[in-house]
A and B are shown apart, each in its own frame.
Chain A
């Protein structure tokens, strides 16, 4: 792709002389930070192992939506959040709405065995996508390869 005028690189994005900024290129998998939110220890273990197997070493876990929100309140940021729906204390729907209201721009993918109206409501809470539990890595590969640009709104968000 031909460059127009001068350019400089900063943090992986390229600023062209006209002042426009390219969408940040994909980050290496090893540098991605992922948060797995699920109340079941076994599910957290499986999801984490899948991500580590894919080359992502920085994987945090949270046992419910409130813990996930608290992580963000304390300054944590993630490239991708895998969010279960049915959890005690704060479910995935409430947590996703809360995170979006806080201005969290991370890709949030719902992971649930629910369907129908429940899934529709979950998507509308601010998810970028929703996959069935258990998921296979190919279903979330897009979000691992291309973290969402700050200017792209969540796919299903209805403010």
Chain B
């Protein structure tokens, strides 16, 4: 009984810590209200939704950022390809609450439209920095979410282990 109470307290503390962390990220403007929309899609039918969507976003966006870097760092940047990738990164980051990443993408897009390579390189650094900050925040939220989920997994009853 005492152990169960201690476990329950641990879960509560972890959920609270996650909520406080998310609020801190919003106060720092690393995340915006759009994150709440995604987090709100968790359900008893799909408890791992947030973890899975963060994983999907991080895997896909890392590829897009790497492509952007390659496109901008060409002797003559591939501006058209970069704009295409910027649309993707802007949209997906916005959906995850990464408004600052989206804003940085917009600046880089303008530099691409002007075919201004020095400005592109400057804006690319900003995109990468903001993306890294968002990535770190989402990784931490996902880590906390996994702990909370693990603590909620019911243990199998001993009777189920009976072998006929």
Report A's interface with B, CB cutoff 8 A: 39-43, 45-46, 49-50, 53, 84, 86, 112-114, 133-134, 136
Contact = CB atoms under 8 A, between A and B. Distances in A.
B49 A49 contact: yes
Contact of A43 (B34, B43, B46, B95): B95
A53 B41 contact: yes
Nearest to A88: B84
A42 B41 contact: no
A41 B61 CA distance: 11
Interface of B: 34, 37-38, 41, 43, 46, 49, 52-53, 56-57, 60, 84, 87-88, 90-92, 94-96, 102
Contacts of A134: 34, 37, 91, 94-95
Nearest to A132: B94
A84 B94 CA distance: 14
A53 B43 CA distance: 9
A36 B96 CA distance: 18
Contacts of B49: 49
Contacts of B90: 113
Contacts of B43: 53
Contacts of A136: 37
B11 to A, nearest CB: 24
Given A42-B92, A113-B102, 7 more contacts: A39-B88, A43-B91, A46-B37, A49-B49, A133-B94, A133-B95, A134-B94
Given A53-B43, A86-B84, A136-B37, A45 B53 contact: yes
Nearest to A85: B87
A45 B37 contact: no
Contact of A133 (B52, B56, B60, B91): B91
Nearest to B96: A42
Q: Which residue of B56, B87, B88 has the most chain A CB atoms within 10 A of its CB atom?
A: B87
15 contacts: A40-B60, A40-B91, A42-B92, A45-B52, A46-B53, A49-B46, A50-B41, A53-B43, A84-B91, A86-B84, A86-B88, A113-B90, A113-B91, A134-B95, A136-B37
Contacts of B84: 86
A41 B55 CA distance: 11
